[in-house]
Protein backbone atom coordinates (compact mmCIF):
# COMPACT_ATOMS: atom_id res chain seq x y z
CA UNK A 1 0.00 0.00 0.00
CA UNK A 2 1.26 3.46 -0.91
CA UNK A 3 1.38 5.48 2.29
CA UNK A 4 3.21 7.95 4.49
CA UNK A 5 3.34 7.52 8.25
CA UNK A 6 4.36 10.49 10.37
CA UNK A 7 5.60 10.14 13.93
CA UNK A 8 7.49 11.94 16.67
CA UNK A 9 4.94 14.46 17.88
CA UNK A 10 4.34 15.20 21.53
CA UNK A 11 3.91 17.75 24.31
CA UNK A 12 6.85 19.96 25.07
CA UNK A 13 7.75 23.31 26.56
CA UNK A 14 8.26 26.57 24.77
CA UNK A 15 11.85 26.81 23.54
CA UNK A 16 12.26 23.07 23.28
CA UNK A 17 13.24 20.87 20.35
CA UNK A 18 11.61 17.96 18.59
CA UNK A 19 12.35 15.80 15.58
CA UNK A 20 9.49 14.53 13.43
CA UNK A 21 9.85 11.56 11.11
CA UNK A 22 7.90 10.33 8.12
CA UNK A 23 8.22 6.80 6.76
CA UNK A 24 7.28 6.06 3.18
CA UNK A 25 6.11 2.71 1.89
CA UNK A 26 4.74 1.36 -1.35
CA UNK A 27 6.75 3.76 -3.51
CA UNK A 28 10.34 4.90 -4.01
CA UNK A 29 10.80 8.01 -1.87
CA UNK A 30 13.93 9.09 -3.77
CA UNK A 31 11.79 9.79 -6.84
CA UNK A 32 9.75 12.49 -5.14
CA UNK A 33 10.23 15.86 -3.54
CA UNK A 34 8.61 16.03 -0.11
CA UNK A 35 7.06 18.60 2.17
CA UNK A 36 5.77 19.26 5.65
CA UNK A 37 2.42 21.00 6.02
CA UNK A 38 0.86 21.89 9.36
CA UNK A 39 -2.60 22.65 10.68
CA UNK A 40 -3.16 24.42 13.97
CA UNK A 41 -6.18 23.19 15.97
CA UNK A 42 -9.37 24.29 14.21
CA UNK A 43 -7.41 26.27 11.62
CA UNK A 44 -6.41 25.97 7.99
CA UNK A 45 -3.40 24.48 6.24
CA UNK A 46 0.06 26.08 6.29
CA UNK A 47 2.96 24.88 4.16
CA UNK A 48 6.12 24.58 6.30
CA UNK A 49 9.04 23.06 4.40
CA UNK A 50 10.09 21.53 1.06
CA UNK A 51 12.98 19.27 0.10
CA UNK A 52 13.92 18.17 -3.40
CA UNK A 53 14.10 14.49 -4.32
CA UNK A 54 17.88 14.38 -3.91
CA UNK A 55 17.87 16.55 -0.81
CA UNK A 56 20.12 19.25 -2.25
CA UNK A 57 17.43 21.94 -2.29
CA UNK A 58 15.28 23.03 0.63
CA UNK A 59 12.83 25.83 1.31
CA UNK A 60 11.14 26.87 4.55
CA UNK A 61 8.26 29.19 5.33
CA UNK A 62 9.30 32.51 6.85
CA UNK A 63 7.48 31.55 10.06
CA UNK A 64 9.93 28.68 10.71
CA UNK A 65 13.07 29.80 8.85
CA UNK A 66 16.16 29.47 11.01
CA UNK A 67 14.36 27.23 13.50
CA UNK A 68 13.21 24.22 11.46
CA UNK A 69 15.32 22.01 9.17
CA UNK A 70 13.96 19.48 6.71
CA UNK A 71 16.09 16.52 5.70
CA UNK A 72 15.76 13.09 4.14
CA UNK A 73 17.45 9.70 4.01
CA UNK A 74 16.50 8.09 0.71
CA UNK A 75 18.32 4.89 1.60
CA UNK A 76 15.95 4.50 4.55
CA UNK A 77 12.92 5.84 2.70
CA UNK A 78 12.42 8.49 5.36
CA UNK A 79 11.89 12.21 5.83
CA UNK A 80 12.57 14.32 8.92
CA UNK A 81 11.81 17.74 10.35
CA UNK A 82 14.08 19.06 13.09
CA UNK A 83 12.19 21.69 15.08
CA UNK A 84 14.12 23.98 17.44
CA UNK A 85 13.20 27.01 19.55
CA UNK A 86 9.57 25.96 19.53
CA UNK A 87 6.89 28.59 20.09
CA UNK A 88 3.27 28.39 21.17
CA UNK A 89 2.20 29.13 17.59
CA UNK A 90 3.98 25.99 16.36
CA UNK A 91 1.26 23.90 18.02
CA UNK A 92 -0.33 21.95 15.17
CA UNK A 93 -0.81 18.64 13.46
CA UNK A 94 2.17 18.17 11.15
CA UNK A 95 1.59 16.29 7.91
CA UNK A 96 4.24 14.94 5.59
CA UNK A 97 3.07 15.36 2.02
CA UNK A 98 4.42 14.12 -1.27
CA UNK A 99 4.88 16.58 -4.11
CA UNK A 100 3.28 15.27 -7.27
CA UNK A 101 5.78 13.91 -9.77
CA UNK A 102 6.90 16.19 -12.52
CA UNK A 103 8.51 19.57 -12.97
CA UNK A 104 6.35 22.40 -11.70
CA UNK A 105 3.78 20.16 -10.06
CA UNK A 106 4.18 21.67 -6.59
CA UNK A 107 0.93 20.28 -5.22
CA UNK A 108 0.48 17.34 -2.87
CA UNK A 109 -0.89 14.02 -4.06
CA UNK A 110 -0.23 11.89 -0.97
CA UNK A 111 -0.52 12.89 2.69
CA UNK A 112 0.52 11.14 5.87
CA UNK A 113 -1.90 10.86 8.76
CA UNK A 114 -0.27 13.65 10.75
CA UNK A 115 1.44 13.89 14.12
CA UNK A 116 0.39 16.39 16.80
CA UNK A 117 2.92 18.79 18.28
CA UNK A 118 1.78 20.75 21.34
CA UNK A 119 3.94 23.54 22.71
CA UNK A 120 3.09 24.70 26.20
CA UNK A 121 4.63 27.17 28.58
CA UNK B 1 0.82 36.18 -2.89
CA UNK B 2 -2.30 35.90 -0.73
CA UNK B 3 -5.06 33.39 -1.45
CA UNK B 4 -8.57 34.41 -0.39
CA UNK B 5 -11.47 31.96 -0.40
CA UNK B 6 -15.15 32.77 -0.23
CA UNK B 7 -17.44 32.06 1.37
CA UNK B 8 -15.79 30.80 4.56
CA UNK B 9 -18.75 28.48 5.06
CA UNK B 10 -21.93 27.51 3.30
CA UNK B 11 -24.94 25.31 3.84
CA UNK B 12 -26.74 23.74 0.89
CA UNK B 13 -29.24 20.98 0.19
CA UNK B 14 -28.45 17.60 -1.30
CA UNK B 15 -28.50 17.96 -5.06
CA UNK B 16 -27.68 21.66 -5.06
CA UNK B 17 -24.97 23.18 -7.22
CA UNK B 18 -22.23 24.60 -4.99
CA UNK B 19 -19.56 27.09 -6.03
CA UNK B 20 -16.50 28.10 -4.03
CA UNK B 21 -14.26 30.96 -5.08
CA UNK B 22 -10.52 31.42 -4.64
CA UNK B 23 -8.82 34.70 -5.49
CA UNK B 24 -5.06 35.29 -5.76
CA UNK B 25 -3.61 38.71 -4.96
CA UNK B 26 -1.41 38.40 -8.06
CA UNK B 27 -1.72 36.35 -11.23
CA UNK B 28 -0.69 32.71 -10.87
CA UNK B 29 -1.60 31.45 -14.36
CA UNK B 30 -3.26 28.08 -13.71
CA UNK B 31 -0.98 26.94 -10.87
CA UNK B 32 -3.85 26.18 -8.55
CA UNK B 33 -4.95 23.03 -6.74
CA UNK B 34 -8.03 22.19 -4.69
CA UNK B 35 -8.17 19.85 -1.70
CA UNK B 36 -11.01 18.31 0.28
CA UNK B 37 -10.59 17.63 3.99
CA UNK B 38 -13.38 15.63 5.57
CA UNK B 39 -13.80 15.93 9.35
CA UNK B 40 -11.04 14.08 11.20
CA UNK B 41 -9.16 13.08 8.06
CA UNK B 42 -6.19 14.25 6.03
CA UNK B 43 -6.54 16.54 2.99
CA UNK B 44 -7.18 14.87 -0.34
CA UNK B 45 -6.20 16.30 -3.73
CA UNK B 46 -9.23 16.97 -5.93
CA UNK B 47 -8.04 19.18 -8.77
CA UNK B 48 -4.72 20.51 -10.09
CA UNK B 49 -3.76 22.91 -12.84
CA UNK B 50 -6.98 24.74 -11.98
CA UNK B 51 -9.23 22.34 -13.87
CA UNK B 52 -7.69 18.85 -14.10
CA UNK B 53 -9.51 16.26 -12.01
CA UNK B 54 -7.26 13.99 -9.96
CA UNK B 55 -7.72 10.29 -10.70
CA UNK B 56 -10.57 8.76 -8.72
CA UNK B 57 -12.34 12.03 -7.94
CA UNK B 58 -16.06 12.02 -8.82
CA UNK B 59 -16.99 13.94 -11.96
CA UNK B 60 -19.43 16.16 -10.06
CA UNK B 61 -16.34 18.14 -8.99
CA UNK B 62 -14.92 20.63 -11.47
CA UNK B 63 -12.55 23.57 -11.42
CA UNK B 64 -12.10 26.60 -13.60
CA UNK B 65 -10.24 29.88 -13.80
CA UNK B 66 -6.86 31.33 -14.60
CA UNK B 67 -4.83 34.32 -13.50
CA UNK B 68 -6.35 35.55 -10.24
CA UNK B 69 -9.88 34.12 -10.07
CA UNK B 70 -10.74 30.46 -9.66
CA UNK B 71 -13.79 28.41 -8.81
CA UNK B 72 -14.50 24.93 -7.51
CA UNK B 73 -17.95 23.63 -8.40
CA UNK B 74 -19.83 20.65 -7.04
CA UNK B 75 -22.57 20.07 -9.59
CA UNK B 76 -24.86 18.07 -7.31
CA UNK B 77 -23.98 18.14 -3.62
CA UNK B 78 -23.91 14.74 -1.89
CA UNK B 79 -23.86 13.95 1.84
CA UNK B 80 -20.31 12.60 1.53
CA UNK B 81 -19.14 16.00 0.26
CA UNK B 82 -19.41 17.52 3.74
CA UNK B 83 -15.88 18.80 4.23
CA UNK B 84 -13.65 21.83 4.24
CA UNK B 85 -12.21 22.75 0.87
CA UNK B 86 -8.87 24.52 0.38
CA UNK B 87 -7.25 26.09 -2.65
CA UNK B 88 -3.45 26.16 -2.94
CA UNK B 89 -1.28 28.17 -5.27
CA UNK B 90 1.96 26.57 -6.47
CA UNK B 91 3.63 28.95 -8.88
CA UNK B 92 6.59 29.48 -6.55
CA UNK B 93 7.76 29.61 -2.96
CA UNK B 94 6.17 30.08 -0.59
CA UNK B 95 3.43 27.64 -1.42
CA UNK B 96 0.24 28.89 0.21
CA UNK B 97 -3.32 27.87 0.90
CA UNK B 98 -6.58 29.72 1.06
CA UNK B 99 -8.34 29.94 4.40
CA UNK B 100 -10.81 27.17 3.60
CA UNK B 101 -14.53 26.85 2.90
CA UNK B 102 -16.60 24.64 5.13
CA UNK B 103 -19.47 22.93 3.30
CA UNK B 104 -22.42 21.56 5.24
CA UNK B 105 -25.75 19.99 4.36
CA UNK B 106 -28.86 22.05 5.05
A15-54 confidence digits (pLDDT tens): 999 999 999 999 999 999 999 999 999 999 999 999 999 9
Cross-chain Cβ contact B33/A107 below 8 Å = yes
**Contact flag A44-B97 (C-beta cutoff 8 Å):** yes
Mean pLDDT of chain B: 96
HEC per residue, A90-105: HCEEEEEEEECCCCCC
Please indicate if any CB of chain B lies within 8 Å of the CB of A108.
yes
Say yes or no for a CB contact (<8 Å) between A107 and B48: yes
Q: How far is CA A109 from CA A28, A33, A112, B32, in A?
A: 14, 11, 10, 13
Q: Would you say residue B17 has pLDDT above 90?
A: yes
Is the CB of A46 inside 8 Å of chain B's CB atoms? yes
Residues of A in contact with B40 (CB under 8 A): none
Q: Tens digits of per-residue pLDDT, B35-85?
A: 999 999 999 999 999 999 999 999 999 999 999 999 999 999 999 999 999
- Cis check: omega of the bond before B94, within 30 degrees of 0: yes
Nearest residue to A57 via CA among A26, A35, A82: A35
Supply the pLDDT for residue B31.
96
Identify from A2, A45, A100 which residue to disrupt to test chain B contact, counting B C-beta atoms within 10 A and taking the largest count: A45
Q: Is the dihedral of CA B44, A52, B91, B52 positive or negative?
A: negative
pLDDT at A79 over 90: yes
Q: CA-CA distance, A108 to A99, in Å (whole number)?
A: 5
Q: Which residue among A45, A95, A100 places its CB closest to the CB of B48? A: A100
Amino acid sequence: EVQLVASGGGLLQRGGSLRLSCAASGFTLSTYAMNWVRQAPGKGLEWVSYISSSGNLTYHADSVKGRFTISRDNAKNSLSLQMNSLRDEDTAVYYCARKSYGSGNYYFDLWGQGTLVTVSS
Amino acid sequence: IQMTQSPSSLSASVGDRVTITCRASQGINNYLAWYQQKPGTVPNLLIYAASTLQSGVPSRFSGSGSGTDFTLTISSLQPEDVATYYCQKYNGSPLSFGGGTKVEIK
